[in-house]
Structure formats: C-alpha cells, structure tokens
Amino acid sequence: MPEDQYTRQNPVDQHPKPALDGGNTQYPGKTNEMTDRPDHGEQTYRGSGRLTGRRAVITGGDSGIGRAVAIAFAREGADVLISYLPEEEEDARDTAQLIEKAGRTAVTVPGDIRDEAHCKAIVDRAVSELGGLDILVNNAAYQMAQPGGILDITDEQFDRVLKTNLYAMFWLCRAAVPHLQPGATIINTASVQAYQSSSTLLDYATTKGGIVAFTKALAEELADKGVRVNAVAPGPIWTPLIPTTMHEEKVKSFGSDTPLGRAGQPAELAPAYVYFASQESSYTTGEVLGVTGGKPVS
C-alpha cells in the first residue's frame, strides 16, 4: 500500500519518475493506455469532512488533475459533477465510480465547453441534479506544443486554445454566479506558464496569464457577495495531456528542470483545491497557489 499524504517523506523521491514514453499518442489520451498511469490519490487520499454537503462542478474531471480533485472532494464529503469530452467517456466512468465509492453522488456531463450553451447546461445540471452549486473548478484546458513557435500556430489552434481555456471559464462563471451563495468558491487552474512562459506553448501560456488576471478581477467583484475566487498554478504534472500534446524529446525530460527534479503527480495537486474550496481558506481570495516542484510563480 502506498504511503498516504500525511506520512513524512522526501519530496524528491516521494513519487518515482514516470515512464515518460507515455503510451498515448492521440489527444486527448486515455489514462488506461498510459505506460505509467498517474497517481490520482486513489490509494492515499483520506478525507476529514471538510466539504461535507457541498456541491461541486469540475471541468476536465475525467482524468489527470480533475480526477484527483474529484476523488479528494468526494472523500471530503462533496457531491461532484464532472464535465469532459465525449471521447473521454471511459475515463469519466472510472472517475464517477471513485466518487460513488466514497459515498457521494456523481453526475457525468459529456460535451465540448467551447460551446457557450453547453457551459450553461453544465451549471443547470449541477443545480437540478445536485440541488445547488457551491464550488466551481475551471480545470479543463487544451494545449498543443509547437516547436516552431508563432509561425506554426494556426488560427484553428489559437481559437481552440482560447475557447477552451478562457471563453469556457468566462461562460461557466457567468452562468454559475447567480447560483452561488455566501461561502461558495470558484477555483481556476492557471499554470506556471503564466509566469515562466515557453515559446513552444505561446498560445497556452497567453491563456494562463489571462486566467490569473481574470481570477484577481473576479475575486474583487464577488468579495462583497461572500464568494471567493482563487487559482492553482500547477507546474509539470504527469497527465494524459502531456504525451499527447508534446513532442517526444520534451516528454522524456518532462519535469526534470524543476528544483525537485521530477514531474508532479495529480494527487499532489488535490490538497490545494481542497484548501481553496474549504473554510480553511476563508480569508483568502484573489490568490494564486503554485504547485510547481519549486519553480517560482511570481
């Protein structure tokens, strides 16, 4: 049995470096097809009732960071709706089963968040099937590395990255805000790319910088309503997105340039989202928490 998150461990070797050939080649990738499957906290995360009775929406909740957050939220007592692309149905079913195994309600909503109507439908489903909405996690994202930089980024790719990463967040928040009561929270997934931008991810980094600005502005707007807005900025995290959107040589060295010398696992992100979702962070809004293996986010 793996050691849990409460056991003192050396963070350098707490998780072994993954087999970075990945196994997947086609976006969006499937968890079960990865040579080295990510750790989402299936065997390690233990809840303590910090989100009892809450209702959460997690976009991109089928795999990777979204799955880890869904597991943690459910084990902390929340019912969870996950949204995902239709081609990710297998992963979504696995995540839903983990939520239900924790004794909580799981709602699965396939579709493309680049469509405004679908974003509104996600919120509507949460309100109708979970009885309300207390936590919105804007986590789904799209990237496609281009070694040639700006000249290799097509209009189609640029549009897809901005629609998935920025427009959808805006649409989901706009739909959710009327349903959020004092004590509710919005958590956006930013990235170390907002602060240390890579030329090969120019469009993706642009959206992540936008997410940071959006988070701070919306936090100021909603503060007097008692609704907090924060962001988590992951560093290099091992998920199906990596081997399907990055070139092979980059995948093989993924995470090795961090001070901790390795890629992070989704399970190492989940506690940050639980912190922002719970009353433990009641005096925190408009903040960005970096979980980057030591890379600075300032």
163-182 pLDDT, tens digit per residue, is 999 999 999 999 999 999 99
Any idea which residues carry the catalytic annotation?
Answer: 204
Domains and CATH numbers, the chain: 43-236+267-291 (3.40.50.720)
Given a cut of 80, whether residue 127 has pLDDT beyond it is yes
Query: pTM here?
Result: 0.90
Residue reference for tokens 């998935």:
164
Going by pLDDT thresholds of 50, 70 and 90, the confidence category of residue 262 is confident
Going by pLDDT thresholds of 50, 70 and 90, the confidence category of residue 187 is very high
3-state DSSP assignment of residue 209:
helix
Strand segments (E) across the chain: 55-59, 79-84, 106-110, 135-138, 185-189, 228-234, 288-291
Strand segments (E) across 115-227: 135-138, 185-189
Percent of the chain with pLDDT over 70: 87
Omega before 28 cis (within 30°)? yes
* pLDDT at position 92: 97
Those residues whose C-beta lies under 8 Å from the C-beta of residue 85, and which sit 6 or more positions away, are 28, 62, 110, 111, 112
Rounded to whole angstroms, the Cα distance separating 291 from 296 reads 9
